[in-house]
Amino acid sequence: MRAADLVQPYPTVTLTTPAIEAARILADADLPGLIVVDNQGRPFAVLPGTQVLRLAVPSYCQDDPALTHLVDEAAADVFVRELGDRTVRELLPPQPHELPVVPPQATALEMAALMARTRSPLVAVVDGALLGAVTLHALLDRVLPL
């Protein structure tokens, strides 16, 4: 079993996709994360779902649960408005990191090791162009004994 056998089409966003639209794609398609592609359609980053929330949470609430607790329920319900017209570019972590990207020949073990190491619930499959992705669930479905 190789990445080529498991790859499925996967939605992508670009650096200029509005953050709110990225959050919507994530939620509507029930995705574990988003593949961010560059101008050539190649993976630039894989953004875990939790990090899409990061920009929506006001900076004074990021690290201080006590301050977050002071925000009343009505204001807390509409916190995603904080995303405003920000883009996916601003959601990305500042440091470069190992990308969860594999060639079509990658084995199940190679994909699993990469998911574990990068803590990414999906790997992008690239053969020059982006072919799609293999999710953790798709991989587990195939490798778990019946």
Say how far apart CA 83 and CA 57 lie, in whole Å: 8
Cβ atoms of 145 and 22 within 8 Å: the answer is no
Surface-to-core class of residue 130, CB atoms within 10 Å of its CB (0-12 exposed, 13-18 middle, 19+ buried): buried
Is residue 4 near a second copy by the rule CB under 8 A? no
Q: Which one of residues 9, 39, 65, 129 is an interface residue with a second copy (CB under 8 A)?
A: 65
Q: Which one of residues 24, 41, 84, 97 is an interface residue with a second copy (CB under 8 A)?
A: 24
Strands 122-127 and 129-135: antiparallel
Q: Closest approach of Cβ 126 to a second copy, in Å?
A: 15
Q: How far does CA 110 lie from the centroid of its chain?
A: 19
Q: Hey, CA dihedral for 60, 63, 69, 73, is it positive or negative?
A: positive
- Return the range that interacts with a second copy (CB under 8 A); candidates 11-19, 37-45, 47-55, 124-132: 47-55
Is residue 99 near a second copy by the rule CB under 8 A? no
* Footprint on this chain of a second copy (rule: CB under 8 A): 1-2, 20, 23-24, 26-27, 30, 32, 48-51, 53-54, 56-57, 61-63, 65, 68-69, 71-73, 75-81, 107-110, 112-121, 136-137, 140-141, 143-145
